[in-house]
Amino acid sequence: MAIRKIRVMGDEVLRKTSKEVKEMTPRLKTLVGDMFDTMYEAMGVGLAAPQVGILKRIVVIDTYEEGERFVLVNPVITERDGEQIGDEGCLSLPGKTAIVKRPNHVICQAYNENMEPITVEGEGLLARAICHELDHLDGILYPDVAEEPVRDVTYEEGE
């Protein structure tokens, strides 16, 4: 697999709407593997295809909790409830953070990398990651929904 270049805020691809995946091709399977490699290299918990310049509705998430590594193809949040407010960052805005309000619980319908239907239920960090990554598929970045202006991450926050 390969490490891909992560697009940063200001790159117009991050503001575009991604296209639905009709079939999982060998190229898209390679993309999924590359996305995991790129996310791990950057020490992230999620990555959406637009962040590596591909306008497809594909997201990878790994919250580093056992059993919480996901490939979400054509994902849709079908339920959301509760509330969490906290700092959020993004691999496309390195060194930045802001307070973002998200649901504390979500249910997401999607397909896995084999185009089999799956349901992912997430709470806490997983719910936040699902919401954040699905926003990327519609050209939304966390500063668009933040409760406050984006600020630089301080050393203490980044530990």
CA dist 7 and 90 (Å) reads 11
Which H or E element spans position 76? strand 69-81
Pairwise CA distance, residues 33 & 74, whole Å: 17
133 is a catalytic site residue: yes
Nearest Cα to Cα of residue 6 among 46, 57, 42, 58? 42
Q: Does 90 count as an annotated binding residue?
A: yes
Q: Which of 65, 68, 133, 156 is catalytic?
A: 133
Decide: 14 and 32 in contact? Cβ < 8 Å. Answer: no
Q: Binding residue per annotation — 132?
A: yes
Active site residues: 133
Give binding residues for Fe cation as ranges. Answer: 90, 132, 136
Give binding residues as ranges. Answer: 90, 132, 136
